[in-house]
Amino acid sequence: MKVEVDGQSVEAQANASVASVLQQVLSGKKYKALVAAVCRCAGETRCVDISLPLPDGTEEIRPVYAESPEGLEIIRHSAAHVMACAVKRLFPKAKVTIGPAIANGFYYDFDVERPFSSEDLSSIEAEMKKICDAKAPFERSVVSREEAAARFGDMGETYKVELIESIDAPTVSLYSCAEFTDLCRGPHVPNTGFVKSFKLLSVAGAYWHGDEHNPMLSRIYGTAFSDDKALSAHLKMLEEAKRRDHRKLGKELSLFMFQEDVAPGMVFWLPNGMLVRTILEDFWRREHLKRHYDIVQGPQILRAETWQRSGHYDHYRENMYFTQIDEDVHGIKPMNCVGHMLIYNNALRSYRDLPQRYFELGLVHRHEKSGVLHGLLRVRQFTQDDAHIICMPEQLEGEILNVIHLIQDLMNLFGFQYKILISTRPEDSIGTDEAWELATNALIQAVDAAGLQYVINEGDGAFYGPKIDVVLLDCLGREWQCSTIQVDFTLPERFDLVYVGQDGERHRPVMVHRAIMGSVERFIGVLIEQYAGALPVWLAPEQARLLTVTDAAREEASAMCDALRSRGIRVTLDERNEKLGFKIREAQMAKIPYMLVVGEKEVQAHGCNVRLRSGENAGLRSVEEIVSMIRTAAEEPFKKGGMSYSFS
C-alpha cells in the first residue's frame, strides 16, 4: 500500500514495521532521532512505537523526533519506567503504582517500607545509567485483562491489579524493558539508550489516587531531555528558580510567614510584606477609579440558598466552606460575583446607567487540599482584584476590549510577556447553547479587535460561561495563569438582573467577570520571583536606608531621614554601632534600592554617599538630588507604559 511520509509517497509492504517505512525517507541523524511516529488511519491519528507493524489502513506517517514536545513526553515517560526498573533492582520489596510524564519531567509513586530520601537518589540514578547503557528494548505485548491481573498478582503488585480491574476492556497492553514489566498504553522510545540525559530531582509523599484515606506512597521526581545540553540548561534554570523562590525570599526579606499548625494555607503578612501589598492595592484602586469603576464590597458569608441559586452549590461545593448561623447554613464566599449582582439589584437601572462596573479587592476562601498548597501561589484565603461589568449585549465587545487594554497595561508595567487562551464550554456547565455561542463569539471578536493571537482551549471555561485566560511568562519562561475575563449570560438570568431600555421595556443585561492580577497573593509571589526579591523602586517597602559611619553622624543622618520621609520617600535609619561594611552587606541582602552613607565628609557637605543595590556608587548627593533620583526610578516603568505614579 502507498503511505505518505514527510510529503513523499512510499510503498509499505504487509506487516512492515513503522521504522522500516520511515527508513525509506529518513536517514542519518534524522532517523537516529526518531522516538515514535503518528499514524493517520481513516482520518484518526494515534502515536505508536516505531518497532510495531504499520497499522492497517495507514494513510500517513508523521515522524516524532526526540527534541519535539511529543518526543520529550515519550522520553520522560520511558524514563519513569527505567527509574521504576532501577528501584525494583535496589528495593525488591517496593510496590509500583503509576509513573507518568509531567510538564518538564516525570515521577513514579512507590509503596515502600520506608520513604525514599534524597540520599537514595544517587544510587537509583547510577542503576538507571546501567539500564540506559544496556540499550534494552521497550517491548510491547497485549494480553487479556485476566492474564495481566494474574501476572501482576503473582508478582505481589497489588496496585497494578487494582488498576487492571478498573479497566473496562477485554485486553490491556504491557511494556517490558530489561526485567521490568509495567501496565502501560505507550508509546515508548525504541530502547533505554534514548533515556540518556536525565536527573532525579526530589522525593515527596503522595496518597494513592490523591485520597488522604488511602496509603501514603513515596514519590520520586525526575526530569529528562533529548540531550545533555538541554538537560544542563534546565538544571541551571531550576537552580535559578530555587534562588528566586518566593517562599525563601519572603522569609529572608520579612515579607510574610505561614503557621501551618494554626492556619494552614493562609498568609500572615509581616510589616514589609503588608506595605508592598498596600502600595500595590492603592495603585490598583486608583487605576480602576481612573477607568470609571465603582469600588464596592460585599459580605463574607451568604445563605446557602443564595449559592444554590447561583449554581456554586452544585458546581463548586467541594471547594467551599460552610458555617451555621441560627440553624441556617451559610457559605463563605469563594467568589465575589453574587454580592455584586445583589448590589446591582439594589435599584432599578436604565440603559443610561449601563455599564455598571463594580470593583472589589475581595477576600475569598477556597478549600484546597493540603498537598497542593504552595506558598503564596496556592492558598486557601486570598484576595481577588475582582470586578463585574454589567452591560447591554451591544456594549459587551467594547467592555471586553477595555479589560484587555487594562491587562496589557499591567503586563507592560512589570515587563511580562503573555499568551492568551480562549476557554470554551465544559461538560459541567449551565446555560443555553445560544448564550454560550454569543459569549464565546464576543470574546473572540474582542481579542481579534485588539490584534492579539490566541489559542482555543476546548472545554475549560467556567461553569457559567466561556473565558479568556491570560498566561504570563516570567523571566525564566515559566507560565502563570493570572488574568481572566469571563462572559456570563446565565447568572443575570438566575438573579433576574434587568435594565429599562429605550423602549421602556425591561431587558436582560450580560455580565463580565474579570480579574487582572487574579489573586493579590499569587501576583505578589510571582513578582518576588520575577525580580528575585529586588522589587522595583516604586514597590519596594524600603526604598532607601541611611547608614551612619560614626556616632558623630547620627544627628545629621536623623535630620536627612526626616527630610526624605517628608518628601514621600520610604527610608529607614541604621545608626547601630557596627562596621559600615557590615551595614552595607545587610542592606544589600535586604534588596534595598539605595544605601545612603553618612560619615564626617557627608555631614560637612550636607549630603549622602549613594550606593545602589546593583553595587554601583552614585557618589555624593544632596537630599534633593536623592529625592529626584528615587522619584525618577520609581516613575520610569509607568512612563514607559503611559501610566502615572503618585507618591501621595
Catalytic positions are 337, 366, 384, 386, 388, 467, 513
> From CA 426, how far away is CA 52, in angstroms rounded?
36
Q: Within 13 Å and on the Cβ side, how many CA atoms surround 343?
A: 20
Nearest to 105 by CA among 81, 72, 143, 131: 72
| Cα 23-29-31 angle, rounded to 5 deg | 25
Which residues, listed in sequence order, are joined to residue 381 by a DSSP beta bridge?
365
3-state DSSP assignment of residue 423? strand
> From CA 439, how far away is CA 597, in angstroms rounded?
59
Q: Are 489 and 442 in contact (CB under 8 A)?
A: no
Containing H/E element for 608?
A: strand 607-612
Sole residue written with cell 511568562: 473
> From CA 4, how far away is CA 13, in angstroms rounded?
14
For residue 332 the three cell numbers come to: 463563605
Containing H/E element for 221?
A: strand 216-225
For residue 380 the three cell numbers come to: 486557601
> From CA 436, how far away is CA 488, in angstroms rounded?
8
DSSP label of 214: S
Backbone angles phi, psi at 187, to 5 degrees: -80, 175
Pairing between strand 2-5 and 58-65? parallel
Q: Within 13 Å and on the Cβ side, how many CA atoms surround 526?
A: 25
> From CA 259, how far away is CA 592, in angstroms rounded?
27
For residue 340 the three cell numbers come to: 455584586
Which residues, including other chains, have CB under 8 Å from residue 347's CB and lie 6 or more apart? none
Q: In what order do the strands lie in the sheet with 607-612?
A: 571-574, 544-548, 594-598, 607-612, 617-622
Backbone angles phi, psi at 56, to 5 degrees: -60, 140
> From CA 592, how far away is CA 33, in angstroms rounded?
50
> From CA 341, how far away is CA 345, in angstroms rounded?
6
Helices vs. strands in the chain: H and E counts, helices first:
20, 34
For residue 461 the three cell numbers come to: 471555561
Amino acid (one-letter) located at 558: S
> From CA 455, how far away is CA 470, in angstroms rounded?
11
> From CA 126, how far away is CA 265, in angstroms rounded?
38
Distance of CA 469 to the CA centre of its chain: 12
- How far lies 462's CA from each of 175, 425, 444, 459, 513, in Å? 38, 7, 16, 9, 10
Backbone angles phi, psi at 154, to 5 degrees: -65, -30
DSSP label of 378: B
DSSP label of 583: H
Backbone angles phi, psi at 166, to 5 degrees: -90, -5
